Structure 1
Amino acid sequence: MAKYVLISLPSTFDSLKATIADNGTVVPFNIPNLKIGTLDALVQQADDLAKLDSACQALVAKVGDSLRTLYDGDDQKAAEQKIVNDKPTDQYLRSFTWNTVRYRADKPVAELFSGLQKDLVMTDNDVKGKLNQYNQVKTNFTVLQRKQTGNLATKSLTPIIDPAVLIRDSEYLETHLIAVPKNLRKDFIKSYETLTEGIVPRSAVELAQDDEFVLYAVTTFKKNGADFEQKCREQKWTPRQYKYVEGGKEEEKRELERVAREEEEGLGGSSAYGLHRLERKCHDLGPCHGTPGLRGVCLTLRPASGTNYKLVKKVKIALDTAYSYLGGNAFGRDKRGKITKDDAALTSEIAAAGVGGHGEGNEYTAYVYYEFEL
């Protein structure tokens, strides 16, 4: 997980880079001027966006868990699917451009928010559908694999059976295929002829064997076939259902290859392209309309060592030192980052109202500051 911060304040790009110094990488993150209405509406929208952002985060987390499950806990493979618009997330953030067609900047923020809500619902339904579809394909693939690799009691008999051993198109006789455990083969040879009436004497023919079973073909009269198979089950011998089909071997192979491709494509296609895009859109709107009047540089920042959160604190202190003047007297801080003025209560009231920038937790900052992880 890498730590990112979105920052918006009236500063030059070079000045901000100098403030951050070696504690992170600063790149432009361009956001259009959004159509903001009244302050009351903005406060309500900030609260609504926070809830929507939480819903987006939960949905993305659910997809991440699903990916790890699909990849049998392989975090590396799951991480490879963290792409947005066919780009790795870090590259996407570094080259971000606002989708002006889908989210028109000339529309009110409330309308953009409504569009995001619809996107969330549609994406959630889409992901559920894709996961269900993939799970069905995976189940089919597992069944086909088991038919190819199981024992003679379960695997497909299509590659094994020579059609010449089968009685076909007979009015009175039929062939039964019976998988007998190896430790019961002597009992089978000794007693199969007397299980029921209508069994052709000495008709048992061994067709194949593996580590667990021996497969026999036995001929009976059709009218006694069902009774014979039931008696076999009682002896713990497994009747196998098989019907010869011309070209069946080739067709079964093609089916296995087809489902294998679908399963592989399902893994590649079930990553949360839409989800990560949607999550980013929530982040785009959330921090960048939080402070009306500040139309400065909007940036994305990643601490150089990724998960070293101490760098994030150093960045925050550097920003507070350089830009606390933007908040007036309420944001005078000492070297430890604590508010030095007597209006901390005012700061808390403003933060509770949701106006302005967002720091760690509910802390209010003099500029727009938004942390997230990928």
Structure 2
Amino acid sequence: MAKAFWMVAAPNERVAASTRVQEEVETRHQLGSVSKISMPTFRVGTLDSLMSISDRLAKDSKTVEVITERLLRQYRELAGGRDDVVPLVDGKECVKYIRAFEWDEARFASTEQLQSLVAMIMEQVARLEDDLKMRATDYTATKQAKSTLERKSQGTLMTKSLGAIVTQSHVVETEHMSSEFVVVNNNNKDEFVSSYESLGKLVVPRSLLLVLHDNEFSLYRVIVFKKGLEEFRANCRERRYNVREFKYDPEAFELEQDQLEQLVADADTQADAFTAWSETAYGDAFVSLVHLKILRVFVESVLRYGLPVNFELCLIAPNPKQEARIRMCLADMYAHLLGHWSSGGDTGDEQMIPGVTSDKEFYPYVFDSIPLPS
């Protein structure tokens, strides 16, 4: 499948432009499929307004392409990182939507001024972008809070919540004494066991208790007089023993578990809602993109070919690796439209051609493309 659909606008001469392009590109040379895109009768306005709109459309077109692609990436990320899924557009696949395109009068009434139509499209896309940022921020915050709590319950003894490990029997807490919980790398546990009493003058002798160990770390309880806590902790840090800050509180642990369960439920709910919204938002953005592209081609065609409107917009789906041949075919068909620009000169001259903006290569026909999701 082609990476993009081409839009080619050319004047009707002896035969309709769409008929001629179809005969040459599709029927005679078999370089791709060609169809006609019907456009409503837009309110043209003044030449100055058309020039102004043309410049704006060049920038707006790029903006909408970027936002549409961003929405697709977000949807795919939420769909499990699958790069092959593409949301429907108005209930159709993207390709089918473009081929069967009809101007959406309910969303973008063609009786409006061209400036108003462009503004309506861009306002809709701006709302989608703002909504995307807000939803992504909220979803990320929930995921991060969930991950933080999950690390506490699933990590190593260095980070894991001690609430699920330490019981009342491990704790000695009085007015003058406190239980300190120390995580020691298993490579250093023999050293710690033999020397823990020397880590402070007020360490209670023979108070060491192994609470739990895993493949990497061991968790010990040591009883220390409260007046000697700072000395004990400083000496542990010096020897790279990790003293965990912990106060035994079974109610706090239960609350933490409830918070984790709630965050898991919230994250799942947000993910479902965000996925559904992204699916719809991508379709809306794609609709806006196609309408904006058609407006751009219309404005450039009026600037290029003049009034009254006597041109048609052709949709070309190039066959694989046939883009260059289509260019040659169209160049031969419309070489006569170059007029005095055929001896133009440098790029600076080309930028002054009506209907040609600086971001586009010049062709004897008006050209734009609709990128397809890859």
TM-score, scaled relative to structure 2: 0.73
- State the 1:149 CA deviation: 4.2
What secondary structure does 1:332 align onto?
A: helix
The residue number in structure 2 matching 1:373 is 371
What secondary structure does 1:215 align onto?
A: strand
For 1:108 and 1:291, the matched residues in 2 are separated by 17
Q: Does 1:361 align with 2:372?
A: no
Long gaps (5+) in structure 2: 303-307
CA contact (8 A) 1:26 1:299 kept: yes
2:55 is aligned, of 47, 51, 55, to: 47
The residue number in structure 1 matching 2:216 is 212
Deviations 1:125-161 (A, max 9, x none): 4444444444434544543444344321122334433
2:315 is aligned, of 291, 300, 310, to: 300
Change (3 A) 1:27 1:218: farther
2:258 is aligned, of 240, 248, 251, to: 251
Change (3 A) 1:350 1:190: closer
For 1:193 and 1:266, the matched residues in 2 are separated by 56
1:176 is aligned, of 156, 169, 180, to: 180
- State the 1:362 CA deviation: 2.0
CA contact (8 A) 2:25 2:32 kept: yes
The residue number in structure 2 matching 1:314 is 325
- Counting aligned pairs with the same residue, the percent is 20
The aligned amino acid for 2:323 is V
What secondary structure does 2:82 align onto?
A: helix
The residue number in structure 1 matching 2:301 is 291
- State the 1:106 CA deviation: 0.8
Change (3 A) 1:189 1:48: same
For 2:159 and 2:90, the matched residues in 1 are separated by 44
CA contact (8 A) 2:290 2:370 kept: no
Long gaps (5+) in structure 1: 325-330, 334-338
Q: Number of matched residues?
A: 350
CA contact (8 A) 1:147 1:154 kept: yes
- State the 1:37 CA deviation: 0.9
The residue number in structure 1 matching 2:99 is 94
TM-score, scaled relative to structure 1: 0.73
Q: Does 1:200 align with 2:196?
A: no
Change (3 A) 1:12 1:281: closer
For 2:75 and 2:124, the matched residues in 1 are separated by 24
CA RMSD, 1 decimal: 4.2
For 1:191 and 1:139, the matched residues in 2 are separated by 39
The residue number in structure 1 matching 2:242 is 238
What secondary structure does 2:40 align onto?
A: coil
Deviations 1:177-216 (A, max 9, x none): 2111112212222222343354333222212112221011
Change (3 A) 1:226 1:300: farther
- State the 1:371 CA deviation: 2.5
- State the 1:108 CA deviation: 0.4
The residue number in structure 1 matching 2:4 is 3
- State the 1:2 CA deviation: 0.7
For 1:157 and 1:87, the matched residues in 2 are separated by 53
What secondary structure does 2:235 align onto?
A: helix
- State the 1:167 CA deviation: 4.3
For 1:302 and 1:317, the matched residues in 2 are separated by 16
